[in-house]
């Protein structure tokens, strides 16, 4: 069984103080709800780099994972402005988002960069959350499956079958991100089925059964249930609706109720 995962991608939002305020409210709700400390859903928060140490300290020993939104693939050296996998691991991160469409579109990340980052993350004990997804133009041209499959092939080119349980894929159609226009759950499930087929073709039949695949793009409390009802969808990567602690808690609670 794949454990559901609800992940917050805060993007470039929240100062350290604001992150701590969020953590106080969210943590209180979460730990009151799940007394005894066992949460049947993996909860991940990815703040900007600066917020990572504070959140790691607040949630130390608690079942809330902290991750980064990006990293560089080299361990150290003359790479001004970059942060490496060992640095993130040492600070207490468990996950790192790689290849988010904003990184691909605004910062020139290529499939090759994404593959290197995913590889470096795994080498240092971080679970990569590999983002893939088509643009509106690509969808309208009927190329969704082709585009996503190429992104998956590149990202998984240096990943071994036994590492797949430590990998997360987030299928995020670019046209659904931050637009309020979510994909149809059955369409997302169909693309995710294709993602699993691609991984099985590359790494061996059945390998993808242990691959967690999230949907992302305008997920909010009002629509998360319809995504969680799809057997193919193991959770959500959430931008806008993850910034509010009450909303983020509702997402975790609904995922638990739907998948539990």
* Interaction site with ligand PGA (CB under 6 A): 9, 172, 177-178, 216-219, 237-241
Which of 172, 182, 230, 253 is catalytic? The answer is: 172
Quote the CA–CA distance of 150 and 36 in Å, as a whole number: 43
Given the complex with ligand PGA, which of 207 and 251 has the nearer CB atom? 251
Quote the CA–CA distance of 60 and 66 in Å, as a whole number: 10
Which of 100, 113, 124, 256 is catalytic? The answer is: 100
Given the complex with ligand PGA, which of 172 and 230 has the nearer CB atom? 172
Q: How far is the CB of 182 from ligand PGA (least distance, A)?
A: 8
Q: How far is the CB of 78 from ligand PGA (least distance, A)?
A: 31
Please provide the DSSP assignment of 110-143 as one string: -HHHHHHHHHHHHHTTPEEEEEE---HHHHHTT-
Residue sitting closest to ligand PGA (CB): 239
124 is catalytic: no
Q: How far is the CB of 115 from ligand PGA (least distance, A)?
A: 20
Q: How far is the CB of 75 from ligand PGA (least distance, A)?
A: 27
> What's the CA dihedral at 99, 226, 193, 124 to 10 degrees?
40
Q: What is the DSSP secondary structure assignment for residue 84, as one 8-state letter?
A: B
172 is catalytic: yes
Nearest-CA neighbor of 173 among 142, 128, 138?
Answer: 138
What would the two tokens of residue 83 be? Answer: 């942060």
Phi then psi dihedrals of residue 235, to 5 deg: 160, -160
Given the complex with ligand PGA, which of 100 and 256 has the nearer CB atom? 100
Given the complex with ligand PGA, which of 195 and 219 has the nearer CB atom? 219
Which residues are annotated as catalytic?
A: 100, 172
């Amino acid at each position: 069984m794949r454990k559901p995962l609800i992940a917050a991608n805060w993007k470039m939002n929240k100062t350290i103080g604001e992150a701590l305020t969020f953590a106080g409210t969210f943590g209180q709700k979460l730990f009151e709800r799940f007394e005894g400390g066992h949460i049947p859903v993996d909860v991940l928060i990815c703040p900007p780099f600066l917020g990572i140490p504070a959140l790691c300290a607040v949630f130390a020993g608690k079942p809330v994972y902290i991750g980064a939104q990006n990293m560089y693939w080299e361990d150290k050296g003359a790479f001004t402005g970059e942060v490496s996998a060992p640095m993130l691991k040492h600070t207490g991160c468990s996950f790192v988002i790689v290849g988010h469409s904003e990184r691909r579109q605004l910062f020139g990340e290529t499939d090759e960069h994404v593959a290197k980052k995913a590889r470096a993350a795994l080498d240092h004990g971080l679970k990569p959350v590999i983002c893939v997804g088509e643009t509106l133009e690509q969808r309208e041209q009927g190329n969704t499956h082709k585009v996503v499959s190429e992104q998956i092939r590149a990202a998984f080119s240096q990943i071994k079958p036994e590492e797949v349980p430590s990998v997360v894929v987030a299928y995020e159609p670019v046209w659904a991100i931050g637009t309020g226009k979510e994909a149809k759950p059955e369409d997302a499930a169909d693309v995710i089925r294709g993602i699993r087929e691609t991984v099985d073709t590359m790494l061996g039949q059945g390998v993808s059964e242990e691959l967690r695949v999230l949907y992302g793009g305008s997920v909010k409390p009002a629509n998360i249930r319809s995504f969680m009802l799809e057997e193919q969808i193991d959770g959500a990567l959430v931008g806008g609706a993850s910034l509010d602690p009450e909303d983020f808690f509702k997402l975790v609670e609904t995922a638990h109720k739907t998948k539990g």
